[in-house]
Amino acid sequence: MTEPQSYELATARLEEIIKRLDSGAAGLRETLELCREGRTLVELCAAELEAVGRGLEELRLDDLVARLEAGAGAG
Amino acid sequence: MAEPVTTPAGIDGSTLPGPYGVGRYAAGLRDFLRERPRVQLFGEVWNLRLSRAKVYLELRDGEGALPCSMWRNDFDALRLGEGALGDGAQVVIAGGLDYYAGSRTSSPAFTFAVSGLRVAGEGDLLAQLDRLRKTLDGEGLFAPQKRLSRPALPRTIGVVTGEGGKARDDVLAGLRRRGWQGRLVWAFAPVQDRHAAPRITAALQDLAATGEVDVIVVARGGGSLADLFCFCDETLCRTVALLNVPVIASVGHHTDRTLIDDVAALSCSTPTHAAESAVPVHCAEARAEVLTMTRRLGVHARRALLHRAQTLARLSRAPGEHIAGERRRLHQRMREIRAAGRRRVEREHGRTARKALVLDRKAVAAAGDARGATRLSALAMALAAHDPDRTLERGYALVTDRAGEVVTSAAGARDAGEVRLRFGDAAVDATIGADDD
């Protein structure tokens, strides 16, 4: 499942941040805070993209269920 | 090839007659079927196919079906409008059973040979479908799936489709086009007829129950509406409507919508399109965008830090500049104070000069007053010298009559008779006596 902060929310917020920074209206303190927040969001987006970029994993529903049950049993 | 000359022996122990040559038996069957009574039948047309010589269709209802054929000339003579015999159209047909016996090089075929056909109205199945669609819509079941948020970048996608179908390859092609390489969970199920619906329903429920799947694609590579009727199953559609995972339907039919198209979060025309819709983000482009945003954030951060450094440098220079400024201001104030002092001294000097002039004038006036006093004193002394009181003090007396008038002669004294003699210390009354001489 996706993270609590989803990719689409993160990218939407990033676009807002870039737009605000590009406008030049942000003061020094706000700029630094926005850059800090932006870096966190970029890391989140990069992690989401990394998760769907490591190679396609195909499995049958039965295999997934068995894996989940094994995981639950081990847990 | 020639007919077999000899007839083989039968099966040991079998009491059935024969063996007979199959061609002869098939021809006998054909003759038998052709002798059956010719009848009229009614049902729904499905899978109408037109060839150059013949028209083929299936006549179906809820209990069974018959393969039917009709000479193309007879069919064209009916002058039916285009689409009049779409899947589900209810018709009445007239004809009888027939059998094509086939040969060594062609397949046999059983058919109901149609000699007459009349369109009877909308098919029951489509009418049922329409009623069910209205029921589900009335219950608001078209909306819940559309309210679910679909992730732009799902990590796990579930796919319900036939195991050997082309839809499987199409889904993979769509995901490749997006550059998506996450986890794909296949839930294979028959997707062919209405009996497939429970299997599809179970697959959907099982996928959602794992809690691992972000979005589900239900895909089929197309077919007639009859073949797709499993996707109009009421239980299946109610299950999809209330599923908490978004479902993207792609049952591959362009003209007739199945009910799953209505209840699903999204309906796509092809499995490839469904797969692309399941991953709205193009992963490679998204990576490039994230990289771009990272660079832009870096530029802004560096610019902000540079600005901060410049501000700090300016602030560090500020005390010296402040002191220099204060010194300049103090010097200016001192110059102003000196100038003001000079102006004040000059002003006081002028004022003092004017006062001195006034004093001089007053002094001159005062000197004039002193000379007057001396003269006045002399006059007073002269006046005192003539004062009668001073004379009286020296022994003289002043004679006045009763009226107070001064008597200056003896004659006057006689005339007055009664006089007053005023001496230096007091006055006495006197009476003038008779003159003796």
- CA torsion sign for B149, B153, B158, B163 is positive
Q: Does A54 touch chain B (CB under 8 A)?
A: yes
For B32-78, the pLDDT digits (tens) are: 999 999 999 999 899 999 999 999 999 998 899 999 999 999 998 88
Cα separations in angstroms, A35 against A18, B85, B311: 9, 65, 19
Domain identity same for B112 and B226: no
Mutate to test the interface with A, among B200, B290, B299 (most CBs of A within 10 A): B290
Reported confidence tier of residue B225, pLDDT bands at 50, 70, 90: low
Coil/strand/helix, residue B264: coil
| Burial category of B184 from C-beta neighbours within 10 Å (exposed 0-12, middle 13-18, buried 19 and up) | buried
Q: Does A40 touch chain B (CB under 8 A)?
A: no
The four Cα atoms B321, B325, B330, B335 give a dihedral, to 10 degrees, of: 130
Residue B246 lies in a domain: yes
CATH code for position B235: 3.40.50.2300
Q: Does A18 touch chain B (CB under 8 A)?
A: yes
Domain identity same for B308 and B270: no
For A6-49, the pLDDT digits (tens) are: 888 999 999 999 999 889 888 888 888 999 999 999 999 999 99
Residue B305 lies in a domain: yes
Q: State the count of interchain CB pairs (< 8 A) between A and B.
A: 120
Chain B environment of A55 (Cβ under 8 Å)? 181
User: Average pLDDT, stretch A46-75?
Assistant: 87
Domain identity same for B153 and B92: no
Do the chains contact at B183 and A49, CB–CB below 8 Å? no
For B87-143, the pLDDT digits (tens) are: 888 889 999 999 999 999 999 999 999 999 988 765 556 667 778 888 999 999 999
For B196-219, the pLDDT digits (tens) are: 889 999 999 999 999 999 999 999
Domain identity same for B166 and B227: yes
Q: Residue A59's beta-bridge partner residues?
A: B185
- Whether ipTM > 0.90 holds is no
Nearest CB partner across the interface for A1, out of B214, B279, B297 = B214
Domain identity same for B116 and B188: no
Domain identity same for B58 and B89: yes
CATH code for position B66: 2.40.50.140
State the smallest CA–CA distance between residue A7 and chain B in angstroms.
7
Domain identity same for B397 and B427: yes
> Which residue range(s) make up the domain with B309?
285-320
Chain B environment of A24 (Cβ under 8 Å)? none
Residue B17 lies in a domain: no
The four Cα atoms B281, A59, B236, B212 give a dihedral, to 10 degrees, of: -60
Chain A environment of B151 (Cβ under 8 Å)? 2, 6-8
Residue B254: predicted pLDDT: 57
Counting the structural domains of chain B, the total is: 4
Nearest CB partner across the interface for B300, out of A31, A58, A60 = A31
Residue B337 lies in a domain: no
Do the chains contact at A2 and B184, CB–CB below 8 Å? no
Mean pLDDT of chain B: 86
Residue B263 lies in a domain: yes
Domain identity same for B242 and B310: no
Domain identity same for B158 and B265: yes
Residue B361 lies in a domain: no
Domain identity same for B181 and B296: no
How far apart (Å, rounded) are the C-alpha atoms in residues B357 and B363?
10
Residue B356 lies in a domain: no
